[in-house]
Amino acid sequence: MPYFSVTSLTSIDHITLHNQPQQITVGSCGFYLAMALARLGADVQYTGLVGEDFDSSRLDPLRAAGAAVALARLPGQTARLDLTYDPAGHPARIIYDEGVGPSARAEDLPHTFWDATVLWLGTISYPIQQAIAQRAAPHQSVYLSTQGEFRGKARELRALAPHLSLLFANGQEAEEFGFGGLARSIDTLLTLNPRLGLVITHGPRGAWYITAHQRLAVPAVPHPTIVNTTGAGDTFNAAFAFQLQRAAPPAHALQWATTAAALSMRAYAYFNLPTTPETDAALAVLRPHLPVTEHTVIPLESQSP
């Protein structure tokens, strides 16, 4: 039984980097989470919701990294993302077609998806997220990585929050959940579920780990090498969860995840995601630059770019 079971609507990504030929790769939040977890040495299975046109050999790099892979094939076309980057390596133009996404159901997931300690929800429809969260057994944890789909969706998050153990979001999205700003989002979610952990990333402003009892902040790695930012947030989330699995203190998990995310930006997409020895070695150097501090307020409100 894998420790992490990750699912998402798998996409075929058509990526255009500045002054380079277009590249076609596999994408989706869940795929990147699974790849990052596998590279770090975690026991992980990825279950992708795909169309009839999907070539399963595209997932060979994930298998080679050590992940188990399962597919739920549905009638129709696989989701597609067209993404163009600016010269600095940041997304400049995004066109997304969710393909078979609207027709997918939780019942389409193979039985192997459900047999894990952590059920991790990536880019999938809200009905599937809700069904998985409600079906999870008492001994299982449910993690949710948001990808912009919950902006202005306070009602949906109210329904999901009581079933979650960890919620991962970026600061701008969390500010726009629909609860009335970042601080109110945090307070409302923790009131709905006092056992919930919130992991909020904010790019160059660092990241937060917030529970009902503590609010920890870590700065970003100063002056990282940036070739491409795709998957950096997913790498952070995977690394943080991996450290919690290993019973690391949250402060160390924040530092370790911040380091892993910085390393992930040294190459395009998922082709050179960091390993655990690489992250350990880098953190040994970077730790003095990554002090973890505890706060009573969140100094990120209304600072979103």
For 101-145, give the DSSP string.
Answer: GGG--GGGS-GGGGSSSEEEE-S--HHHHHHHHHH--TT-EEEEE
Residue 196 within a domain: yes
Residue 133 within a domain: yes
Number of domains composing the chain: 1
Residue 204 within a domain: yes
Residue 295 within a domain: no
CA dist 264 → 52, 71, 92, 146 (Å): 31, 26, 20, 19
| Spatial distance between the Cα atoms of 192 and 61, rounded to a whole number of angstroms | 39
Residue 144 within a domain: yes
Residue 17 or residue 77, greater confidence: 77
Q: Chain centroid to CA 141: how far? A: 15
Does residue 295 have a pLDDT over 90? no
- Identity of residue 245: Q
The first and second tokens of residue 185, run together, are 């989002």
| Spatial distance between the Cα atoms of 143 and 166, rounded to a whole number of angstroms | 5
CA dist 184 → 133, 187, 188, 200, 202 (Å): 23, 5, 6, 14, 17
CATH number, domain with residue 226: 3.40.1190.20
Residue 304 within a domain: no
Does residue 302 have a pLDDT over 50? no
Does residue 29 have a pLDDT over 50? yes
Owning domain of residue 184 = 4-290
Residue 298 within a domain: no
Beta strands 197-201 and 166-170, pairing class: parallel
Residue 173 within a domain: yes
SS3 content of the chain, % helix, strand, coil (to 5): 35, 25, 40
Local confidence band at 304 (pLDDT 50, 70, 90 cut-offs):
very low
| Spatial distance between the Cα atoms of 234 and 248, rounded to a whole number of angstroms | 19
pLDDT tens figures, 168-223: 999 999 999 999 999 999 999 999 999 999 999 998 899 999 999 999 999 999 99
